[in-house]
Amino acid sequence: MDTIRTTVLFACCTALGLTLAEQLLPAGQFAKQIRMITAILMMTAILVPLAKLDLSQFRIKLEYSGSQAADLQAVADEMQEQAAAESIRNALNRALSEHQVNCRVLKVSVHIQSDGCISINEVTAEGNLLTGAVFLHEWLGDDVTVTEGGMPDAPDG
Protein backbone atom coordinates (compact mmCIF):
# COMPACT_ATOMS: atom_id res chain seq x y z
CA MET A 1 0.00 0.00 0.00
CA ASP A 2 2.89 2.35 0.74
CA THR A 3 4.28 1.74 -2.74
CA ILE A 4 1.04 2.82 -4.38
CA ARG A 5 0.84 5.91 -2.16
CA THR A 6 4.47 6.78 -3.02
CA THR A 7 3.82 6.27 -6.74
CA VAL A 8 0.78 8.55 -6.70
CA LEU A 9 2.65 11.18 -4.67
CA PHE A 10 5.63 11.09 -7.10
CA ALA A 11 3.30 11.34 -10.10
CA CYS A 12 1.40 14.29 -8.67
CA CYS A 13 4.53 16.16 -7.63
CA THR A 14 6.18 15.49 -10.98
CA ALA A 15 3.07 16.63 -12.87
CA LEU A 16 2.90 19.81 -10.79
CA GLY A 17 6.60 20.56 -11.24
CA LEU A 18 6.52 19.89 -14.97
CA THR A 19 3.41 22.02 -15.45
CA LEU A 20 5.15 24.92 -13.71
CA ALA A 21 8.28 24.36 -15.82
CA GLU A 22 6.24 24.41 -19.04
CA GLN A 23 4.63 27.70 -18.04
CA LEU A 24 7.98 29.31 -17.33
CA LEU A 25 9.65 28.17 -20.56
CA PRO A 26 8.87 30.06 -23.75
CA ALA A 27 6.44 28.33 -26.10
CA GLY A 28 7.44 27.78 -29.67
CA GLN A 29 10.01 25.68 -31.39
CA PHE A 30 10.89 23.50 -28.37
CA ALA A 31 7.31 22.59 -27.42
CA LYS A 32 7.52 19.00 -28.77
CA GLN A 33 10.84 18.34 -27.06
CA ILE A 34 9.51 19.73 -23.78
CA ARG A 35 6.41 17.47 -24.00
CA MET A 36 8.62 14.45 -24.70
CA ILE A 37 10.88 15.22 -21.73
CA THR A 38 7.79 15.77 -19.60
CA ALA A 39 6.38 12.37 -20.61
CA ILE A 40 9.71 10.63 -19.90
CA LEU A 41 10.00 12.23 -16.47
CA MET A 42 6.36 11.36 -15.70
CA MET A 43 6.88 7.71 -16.66
CA THR A 44 10.06 7.59 -14.59
CA ALA A 45 8.25 9.06 -11.58
CA ILE A 46 5.59 6.34 -11.86
CA LEU A 47 7.80 3.38 -12.74
CA VAL A 48 10.61 3.85 -10.18
CA PRO A 49 8.40 3.13 -7.14
CA LEU A 50 6.61 0.33 -8.98
CA ALA A 51 9.94 -1.31 -9.83
CA LYS A 52 10.66 -1.63 -6.12
CA LEU A 53 7.35 -3.41 -5.55
CA ASP A 54 7.68 -7.01 -4.27
CA LEU A 55 5.68 -9.21 -6.64
CA SER A 56 6.96 -12.55 -5.33
CA GLN A 57 3.54 -13.40 -3.92
CA PHE A 58 2.07 -13.34 -7.45
CA ARG A 59 4.45 -15.92 -8.96
CA ILE A 60 2.83 -18.93 -10.54
CA LYS A 61 4.04 -22.14 -9.02
CA LEU A 62 4.09 -25.21 -11.24
CA GLU A 63 4.35 -28.36 -9.23
CA TYR A 64 3.68 -31.90 -10.31
CA SER A 65 1.94 -34.29 -8.02
CA GLY A 66 3.59 -37.63 -7.32
CA SER A 67 1.33 -39.50 -9.75
CA GLN A 68 2.01 -37.03 -12.57
CA ALA A 69 5.76 -37.34 -12.04
CA ALA A 70 5.47 -41.14 -12.03
CA ASP A 71 3.42 -41.02 -15.24
CA LEU A 72 6.01 -38.79 -16.92
CA GLN A 73 8.80 -41.12 -15.77
CA ALA A 74 6.94 -44.17 -17.11
CA VAL A 75 6.48 -42.51 -20.50
CA ALA A 76 10.16 -41.52 -20.59
CA ASP A 77 11.23 -45.06 -19.66
CA GLU A 78 9.04 -46.56 -22.39
CA MET A 79 10.40 -44.16 -24.99
CA GLN A 80 13.95 -45.03 -23.94
CA GLU A 81 13.19 -48.76 -24.23
CA GLN A 82 11.66 -48.28 -27.68
CA ALA A 83 14.68 -46.32 -28.87
CA ALA A 84 17.06 -48.96 -27.48
CA ALA A 85 15.03 -51.78 -29.08
CA GLU A 86 15.08 -50.02 -32.47
CA SER A 87 18.81 -49.40 -32.27
CA ILE A 88 19.53 -53.01 -31.29
CA ARG A 89 17.23 -54.30 -34.05
CA ASN A 90 19.10 -52.23 -36.64
CA ALA A 91 22.49 -53.40 -35.34
CA LEU A 92 21.41 -57.05 -35.40
CA ASN A 93 20.09 -56.72 -38.96
CA ARG A 94 23.38 -55.15 -40.08
CA ALA A 95 25.36 -57.95 -38.42
CA LEU A 96 23.17 -60.67 -39.96
CA SER A 97 23.55 -59.03 -43.36
CA GLU A 98 27.35 -58.81 -42.96
CA HIS A 99 27.43 -62.54 -42.17
CA GLN A 100 25.22 -63.17 -45.21
CA VAL A 101 22.49 -64.77 -43.12
CA ASN A 102 19.09 -64.66 -44.84
CA CYS A 103 17.28 -63.66 -41.64
CA ARG A 104 15.79 -60.33 -40.62
CA VAL A 105 15.00 -59.18 -37.08
CA LEU A 106 11.51 -57.69 -36.87
CA LYS A 107 11.28 -56.85 -33.18
CA VAL A 108 13.47 -56.83 -30.10
CA SER A 109 11.84 -56.90 -26.64
CA VAL A 110 14.04 -55.06 -24.16
CA HIS A 111 13.78 -53.96 -20.56
CA ILE A 112 16.01 -51.26 -19.08
CA GLN A 113 16.65 -51.95 -15.41
CA SER A 114 16.97 -49.28 -12.74
CA ASP A 115 20.77 -49.59 -12.80
CA GLY A 116 20.78 -48.88 -16.56
CA CYS A 117 21.42 -52.45 -17.74
CA ILE A 118 19.51 -53.52 -20.85
CA SER A 119 17.93 -56.96 -20.77
CA ILE A 120 16.92 -58.49 -24.10
CA ASN A 121 14.11 -60.96 -23.52
CA GLU A 122 12.91 -61.91 -26.98
CA VAL A 123 13.82 -61.41 -30.63
CA THR A 124 11.22 -61.88 -33.36
CA ALA A 125 12.70 -62.67 -36.77
CA GLU A 126 11.78 -63.91 -40.21
CA GLY A 127 13.64 -65.80 -42.93
CA ASN A 128 16.18 -68.52 -42.26
CA LEU A 129 15.44 -68.78 -38.57
CA LEU A 130 17.64 -71.81 -37.90
CA THR A 131 20.84 -70.08 -38.99
CA GLY A 132 19.67 -66.70 -37.68
CA ALA A 133 18.91 -68.15 -34.24
CA VAL A 134 22.42 -69.60 -34.00
CA PHE A 135 23.97 -66.19 -34.64
CA LEU A 136 21.47 -64.36 -32.41
CA HIS A 137 22.07 -66.78 -29.49
CA GLU A 138 25.81 -66.40 -29.97
CA TRP A 139 25.58 -62.60 -29.85
CA LEU A 140 22.80 -62.16 -27.25
CA GLY A 141 23.11 -65.28 -25.09
CA ASP A 142 21.21 -68.54 -24.86
CA ASP A 143 18.53 -67.16 -22.51
CA VAL A 144 17.08 -64.95 -25.31
CA THR A 145 13.99 -66.41 -26.98
CA VAL A 146 14.06 -66.24 -30.77
CA THR A 147 10.58 -66.44 -32.32
CA GLU A 148 9.15 -66.47 -35.83
CA GLY A 149 5.65 -65.15 -36.29
CA GLY A 150 5.01 -65.22 -32.56
CA MET A 151 5.95 -68.93 -32.17
CA PRO A 152 9.04 -69.72 -30.04
CA ASP A 153 11.77 -71.75 -31.65
CA ALA A 154 12.74 -75.21 -30.50
CA PRO A 155 14.87 -75.25 -27.36
CA ASP A 156 18.58 -75.63 -27.91
CA GLY A 157 19.89 -79.00 -26.88
* Other beta carbons less than 10 A from residue 130's beta carbon: 12
Looking at every residue in the chain, the average pLDDT score rounds to 79
Q: What is the pTM of this model?
A: 0.51
> What is the domain extent for residue 36?
2-58
The domain tally of the chain equals 2
- In the prediction, which pLDDT does 157 show? 42
Report how far residue 6's alpha carbon sits from residue 12's, in angstroms, rounded to the nearest whole number.
Answer: 10
**Domain shared by 81 and 145, yes or no:** yes
Bridge partners (DSSP) listed for residue 145: 122
- The closest alpha carbon to 109, from 153, 74, 144, 65, belongs to 144
Predicted confidence at residue 41, as pLDDT, reads 78
Residue 33 lies inside a defined structural domain of this protein: yes
Percent residues over pLDDT 70 in the chain: 80
User: Which range has highest mean pLDDT (16-25, 55-64, 67-76)?
Assistant: 67-76
- Please tell me whether residue 4 adopts helix, strand or coil conformation: helix
| pLDDT value of residue 90 | 93
Mean pLDDT for 81-92 is 90
Please check whether residues 77 and 138 belong to one and the same domain. Answer: yes
Residue 157 maps to a domain? no
The confidence score (pLDDT) of residue 6 equals 75
